[in-house]
Amino acid sequence: MLQKTWDCEAPGLGCDWRDVPFLVCDAEMSSLDANSGELLSLGWVFIENGAIALESARHYLVKASQSVGQSAAIHQLRDCELEEGRSAAELLELFLSAAAGRVLVFHNAVLDTAFLDRLTCREYGAPLLMPTVDTMMMEEAIFRRHEKVIQTGDLRLHACRERYNLPSYPGHNALIDALATAELLLAQAKCRSGDNNFPLRHFL
């Protein structure tokens, strides 16, 4: 399945961002360490033609192999709920099918992709290796270009959204955070491009 996803033609780096199909994702985990924690849920939504395609929104729970423990206080996912979740292998197949031909988007991609890489390495013997946009890193680059000091919390999703006057959403739900990240990406793109052509390479 991973090879099939790789074989789908990805958008060129010179494509205007409005012509790029994006898959905006967010994950909830039992730990911030991919070596010891587990993926508990994954949410995503498409961006097509510069707009969020709400009908594409998906949210999946993942059957955990051990108790979520104290992490339940953050993501509000209980062991009893996860018992009805998908297997990690099944979730991965759904994700790779959705990701085919698309550019991935995360807020703090290093964290989310570490867990997904672990799954793809286990199931297919290789990491994701797909083009990925990180809205958090885009915000960090803006701070650095303007020589602004980055304070603790400045790059969190809700703080980034506030700077674009986007509404406040409850956090730590994978689908809500995926939608929030999609809105943030559109705001970032519009702010940087206006009505002008703005190629994908400037996002990566």
Say what the pLDDT of residue 165 is. Answer: 96
Say what the pLDDT of residue 72 is. Answer: 45
Say what the pLDDT of residue 30 is. Answer: 86
Q: How far, in Å, CA of 13 to CA of 20, rounded?
A: 9
The answer for residues whose C-beta is within 8 angstroms of residue 56's C-beta and 6 or more apart is 44, 45, 46, 48, 98
Name the residue with tokens 């999946």.
60
CATH number of 2-8+15-193: 3.30.420.10
Residue 199 β-bridge partners? 16
Domain boundaries, the chain: 2-8+15-193
Residues of the chain with pLDDT under 50: 71-74
The answer for residues whose C-beta is within 8 angstroms of residue 188's C-beta and 6 or more apart is 135, 138, 139, 164
Say what the pLDDT of residue 200 is. Answer: 95
pTM for the structure as a whole: 0.92
The amino acid occupying position 127 is P
Say what the pLDDT of residue 37 is. Answer: 86
Say what the pLDDT of residue 74 is. Answer: 47
Say what the pLDDT of residue 73 is. Answer: 41
